[in-house]
Amino acid sequence: MTSSHAAGTPALASATDGTHRVSVLLYSDDITTRDAVRAAAGRRPARDVEIVSWHECATPEAVVEALDAGGYDVVVLDGEATPAGGLGLCRQLKNEIFRCPPVLVLTGRPQDGWLAGWSLADDAVSHPLDPIAVSEAIAALARRVSVG
């Protein structure tokens, strides 16, 4: 990535009924992790939040390309992905993408919270993934998109 990229505008912020409708970009090289995140969040991670679309990426290059195109409200990055983990990728995105959407990182263990802070992530959930924690984190980030 070079210099600042425009992330585009959010896909769908909030509807007249108060529901936050969002598009989520999900990065992990492991399809079982991607499946677990989608299953944990479900279609409605909260009463007032609806996920209208998922875009899955298995490589960091695909994440950058997708964010350059715009249209994502929330990003979920797997910190345990290889060859490039989501924590380093998050830091890169936050430093290089203008108006980067809020990012949830998945850390290897609860003690890795400091790495999430270093990565400039907006929130973190550790493996093994707790469906309640994942859905609450995605819902909270989705609400931020509509506000600011």
In a domain, 3, yes or no: no
* CA dist., res. 104 & res. 27, Å (int): 10
Domain residues for the domain of 51 are 10-147
In a domain, 68, yes or no: yes
The CB-side HSE value for 138 (13 A sphere, CA atoms) comes to 36
Note the pLDDT tens digit of each residue in 36-75.
Answer: 999 999 999 999 999 999 999 999 999 999 999 999 999 9
The one-character DSSP state at 112 is G
For the domain that residue 70 is a member of, what is the CATH number?
3.40.50.2300
In a domain, 5, yes or no: no
Regions in the chain scoring below 70 on pLDDT: 1-16, 146-148
| CB contact at 8 A, 63 and 93 | yes
| pTM, full prediction | 0.89
Mean per-residue pLDDT of the chain: 89
